[in-house]
Structure 1
């Protein structure tokens, strides 16, 4: 076996990014069983919240079947060592949501903004630090900004007090050389740790994760069986195996992480996380991965091709928070 390299921290997002694929309908039993498996496998952090973060349960983004604070508390009940992370998008989640999440058991917050809008996060980053949370800046849709702009925005997160900054490939649109460039620039420009969150819409999530690690990322995201928006994320159990082969220390037990993926998560998945026509177009056109199910519903309602909807959304440079634009675009296509 190859000599071990520097340690990496895996953050599993099955119970947050997977909420998109589950239509925000996780049960407390599913949360407990998955959280217990992640904890026993040695995953240090895993995320629990609505797919669009704290406060995301709404008509705009989709209502949660069960209040996310109950889900966080359910996960906390079964954890011996793993710590629970939550996602917060300023403007969707508010400070009171974060305080309530901490009471429920959260120990990490990832404050997420569009790649050019880190300036809206200051109060949330500062609150995360004040509450004693591991506090992370999460720059979404990283493919939509030049590397210099990404670095500029990451420096704002660092200035506000973030301990880690992520480049987030929300659309699964980045190619490995682009990841290398962006992560490398962040590593050279910041004194804090760097993370990477990938989506698999172009079948590049694992390749991009490895490129990120080579360029200096030390926090990396994955989801069990790829359960996540679009075609899902870097597959946690596969990533753990590959990283072990490469000699990286993650602290994750391969057999145990495989067992929770295959015996717990797979049975409740609504569908396999395949690269379909729609999810492929997400990556091809650079559209937010969580738009996939919304686009499918709009295509069915207006009897148009979901690929046409997604291509047009990409042309308009739609970003997270503009889900209402999906129906508008579908209606326009139907009239044309």
Structure 2
């Protein structure tokens, strides 16, 4: 079996779970624990990537670039990664992140919009960064379209291509088919990022590994938007028990989750992701994970059930960056039911 590299995204996707309130002190503690545990790559930015701190996505308590600097300073072995979503992040922010020591960038686009990644992937390669092509909402396109878009990112110079289950909508067979198709079509390695809305994140990660993925994501305690991600400690345990070669130490990864991250979450008055009816509906409807907060606010504003909002958003095939549209969806639903607006 090929060695599998693990990216921990507690300090990026997990930022959604703490309303983007990580401090430099938090980052120092979490990175030190993950680095000591042997995690290969640690992702650090606002939950929506570089430039995400805003009224639309929620403000960070500290400048995310300062968090990147702290992570780089602490990590002895792990590479520090940033996420960049074209239209939210900019080349200027990417250059500054690289200047501060980030050596990996994950350039994320909607599954049908790989072409918008070109300038970012090429610029990152010119800087000498390791580049991941991150195709989000992989359930929203058929396999042929996924392969087509992956080849576009590969042609720009991406070092790895991910099939990203942003909404937690895929089942193990779906993941296996997508990863296997990418593995057969590409020259570069393939990765998978799972969300747990349908309770399948670990099973989906194992299916991805079986299909040939050599890059997998997790977050401590499953931190992340919606129902969260594959728990890094659970992913490490499952991969080890399945016989895959990984660099992470199971006990140290478990301790990083329970003794380091969890106390920080409790200290902030937050809680770990829950499998509730709202996150379940997100996965069932195939809705982008970060839509939860926006959908909940919109549902409360117009006095309607958040589950109906999420289902309707899924039907309209809303994608990342269209969070403002959720207000219109909720308005339309309220008006259709005759509610006073």
Deviations 1:241-284 (A, max 9, x none): 11111111111011111111001111233112221111000000
Q: In the comparison of the two structures, how many residue pairs are matched? A: 332
Aligned twin of 1:287: 287
- The alpha carbon displacement at 1:90 in A equals 1.0
**Structure 2 counterpart of 1:324:** 324
**In structure 2, distance between residues paired with 1:251 and 1:167:** 22
Q: 5+ residue gaps in structure 1?
A: none
Q: Which residue of 2 aligns with 1:141?
A: 137
Cα pair 2:17 2:272 within 8 Å, conserved: no
SS in 2 for 1:85: strand
State the partner residue of 2:4: 8
Asked if residue 26 in structure 1 is aligned to residue 51 in structure 2, the reply is: no
Structure 2 stretches lacking a partner, 5+ long = none
* Contact in 1 for aligned 2:32/2:74 (Cα 8 Å): yes
2:6 partner SS = strand
Instruction: Work out which of the residue numbers 231, 236, 246 in structure 2 matches 1:240.
Output: 236
Of 87-96 and 264-273, more deviation after overlay is shown by: 264-273
Listed one character per residue, the Cα deviations across residues 203-247 of structure 1 (whole Å, up to 9, x for unaligned) are 001111111111110000000000001100011001101111111
Q: What is the distance in 2 between the residues matched to 1:85 and 1:76?
A: 9
RMSD (Å), alpha carbons:
1.0
Within-5 A mapping of 1:52-131: 52-131=48-127
| Among 38, 45, 64, the residue aligned to 2:41 | 45
Segments of 4+ in structure 1 off by > 6 A?
Answer: none
**SS at structure 1 position matched to 2:105:** strand
Contact 2:41/2:78 (<8 A) preserved: yes
Given the alignment of the two structures, is residue 189 of structure 1 paired with residue 221 of structure 2, yes or no?
no
Distance, in Å, in 2 between the alignment partners of 1:303 and 1:266 is 34
Match status 1:178 vs 2:177: no
CA distance in 2, matches of 1:78, 1:301: 43
Query: How far apart, in 1, do the equivalents of 2:97 and 2:234 lie?
Result: 30
Query: How does 1:188-267 map onto structure 2 within 5 Å?
Result: 188-267=184-263
Counterparts of 1:187 and 1:308 in 2: how far apart (Å)? 37
TM-fit CA distance, 1:202: 0.2
Q: Deviations over 1:148-175 (max 9, x none)?
A: 0000000001100001000000000011
CA distance in 1, matches of 2:304, 2:92: 41
Q: How big is each residue's C-alpha offset from its partner over 1:284-312, in whole Å with a ceiling of 9 and x where there is no partner?
A: 00000011122122222222211011011
Q: Distance in 1 between matches of 2:293 and 2:222?
A: 16
Q: Secondary structure at the match of 1:13?
A: strand
TM-score (structure 1 length as normaliser)? 0.97
Q: Which moved more, 1:245-254 or 1:165-174?
A: 245-254
1:99-127 deviation per Cα after TM superposition (whole angstroms, max 9, x unaligned): 00011220100100000000011111011
Taking the aligned partners of 2:285 and 2:13, their CA distance within structure 1 comes to 20
TM-score normalized with structure 2 length: 0.95
Name 1:17's counterpart in structure 2. 13
Q: Distance in 2 between matches of 1:151 and 1:302?
A: 40
Retained in 1: the 8 A contact 2:133–2:161? yes
